[in-house]
Amino acid sequence: MSEQLQKPNPEEQPETPEVINTEPEELDDLQQRVRDYSDRKWNAILTVCGGLVGLLCGALLTVFSAMESIGMYGTIGAVVIALLLPRFAEKRVKRSIRKGRVAMMIALALWLAVTAAVMIIKGVPIFTK
C-alpha cells in the first residue's frame, strides 16, 4: 500500500519542452509610444492622470450627487470610472498602470477627507435622522 502512495521519481517522468514565444509582439502607434517612455516619465504621467481621475470621482460623489437631477447617476458614474477606466487603459496601452490606480485612490481619499472637514467646519450635519 505504501508503494502506491510514494511520489513518482522525477527522473522517470518524461521531460516536457518549455515553449518560449520568440515572436515580437505587434504594437500599434499608441502602445509603441507608451513603451518608449522612460519609467520616470511613465510614472509621472500615471501619477497626474490617476490624481485627476480620483478628483473627478470625488467630485461626482460629493458635488454632483447632491444635485437632484443627477444625484444617483453621479455615484454610479464615479464607480464605473474608478473600476473600468484603469482596466480599459491598461489593456489598451499594454503596460502596467498600478501607480496610477494608487494615485487615484489617494486623490479620492484626500477629496473626501477635505470635503468632510469643510462640512464639519461649516457646521453641516454629516448624519441626518
Give the three cell numbers for residue 85: 477606466
CA distances from 99 to 41, 45, 62, 75, 94 (A): 12, 10, 24, 24, 15
For residue 56, is pLDDT > 80? yes
For residue range 60-89, what is the model confidence (pLDDT) as tens digits?
Answer: 998 887 778 877 888 899 999 999 999 999
